[in-house]
């Protein structure tokens, strides 16, 4: 009997198509050129100070590291340059992974990049990693957080660490390009995904026409509860007022009164 396609499958397929479509827009932009130039230098890292300090505190030197939703593998390669051992990146978009392979060749580093549905990562990877890394804008693409963190938990070795550097869900309330960008435009507790259309870009220069894609609203409580229900122990949680999202959100940082725009979460299996 053929299995039924679930809503999660449909959402994931639509988002994968949108990311595949956007990959060409990221190949030759200013950021791509910066990364190619950077990784040509031994030891280059694109990680910010918060990420670097956190990963050094956890200890990645000589450790096996997986990054879920690694995009073009720039963070994974940066971790490899920090002295990590085996590094494996998982992502649904093969065109972005191909860009990651190109960066790895420039860096002279050996990493493994695996394409496929994040919810269907093969069981052969279970208990393979000392550190699982998640960075910047992953959870909004995930229709099912509980299933996502169940995948994280089974990838980790006993005693292994999950490191998350993510956009704070409070930012989902605001639309920086709206007429009144400082007035909340979305319900923090929204349960339905936001349907959008347009090319997915980081620098605010994408075309409005593009594949339909879905963004999911998860509260901070949803994230923390899902981590705990996956059997992980939270060791650190810290919030920051700096923007790690797309450039449009820069208008909300460095103000007289600030709000949380990003956070670090560290948990142990």
2 within domain boundaries: no
260 within domain boundaries: yes
50 within domain boundaries: yes
225 within domain boundaries: yes
Question: How many domains does the chain fold into?
Answer: 1
196 within domain boundaries: yes
1 within domain boundaries: no
Q: What is the pLDDT along the chain (269 residues), one digit of tens a residue?
A: 334 457 999 999 999 999 898 887 777 788 899 999 999 999 999 999 999 999 999 999 999 999 999 999 999 999 999 999 999 999 999 999 999 999 999 999 999 999 999 999 999 999 999 999 999 999 999 999 999 999 999 999 999 999 999 999 999 999 999 999 999 999 999 999 999 887 776 655 545 566 799 999 999 999 999 999 999 999 999 999 999 998 999 999 999 999 999 999 999 99
What CATH number is given to the structural domain containing 138? Answer: 3.40.50.150
Is residue 67 classed as helix, strand or coil in its secondary structure? strand
Long-range contacts of 111-116 (CB under 8 A, 24+ apart): 111/73, 111/76, 111/77, 111/80, 111/87, 112/86, 112/87, 112/88, 113/70, 113/73, 113/88, 113/89, 114/88, 114/89, 114/90, 115/91, 116/90, 116/92
57 within domain boundaries: yes
161 within domain boundaries: yes
pTM of the predicted structure, to 2 decimals: 0.93
What range does the domain containing 111 cover?
Answer: 7-268
């Amino acid at each position: 009997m053929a299995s039924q396609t679930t809503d999660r499958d449909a959402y994931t397929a639509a988002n994968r198509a949108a990311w595949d479509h956007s990959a060409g827009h990221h190949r030759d932009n200013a950021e791509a050129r910066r990364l190619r130039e950077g990784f040509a230098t031994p030891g280059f890292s694109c990680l910010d100070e918060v990420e670097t300090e956190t990963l050094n505190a956890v200890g990645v030197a000589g450790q096996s590291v997986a990054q879920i939703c690694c995009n073009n593998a720039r963070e994974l390669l940066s971790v490899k340059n920090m002295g990590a051992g085996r590094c494996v990146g998982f992502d649904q978009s093969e065109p972005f992974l191909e860009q990651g392979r190109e960066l790895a060749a420039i860096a002279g580093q050996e990493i493994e990049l695996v394409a496929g549905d994040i919810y269907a990562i093969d069981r052969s990877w279970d208990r393979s990693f000392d550190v699982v890394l998640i960075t910047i804008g992953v959870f909004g693409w995930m229709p099912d957080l509980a299933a996502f963190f169940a995948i994280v938990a089974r990838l980790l070795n006993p005693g292994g660490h999950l490191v998350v550097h993510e956009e704070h869900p409070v930012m989902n309330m605001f639309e920086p390009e709206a007429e009144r960008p400082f007035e909340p435009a979305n319900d923090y507790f929204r349960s339905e995904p936001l349907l959008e259309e347009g090319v997915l870009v980081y620098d605010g220069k994408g075309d409005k026409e593009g594949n339909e894609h879905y963004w999911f609203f998860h509260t901070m409580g949803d994230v923390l509860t899902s981590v705990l229900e996956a059997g992980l122990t939270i060791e650190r949680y810290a919030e920051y007022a700096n923007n790690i999202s797309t450039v449009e959100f820069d208008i909300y940082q460095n103000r007289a009164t600030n709000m949380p725009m990003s956070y670090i979460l560290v948990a142990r299996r």
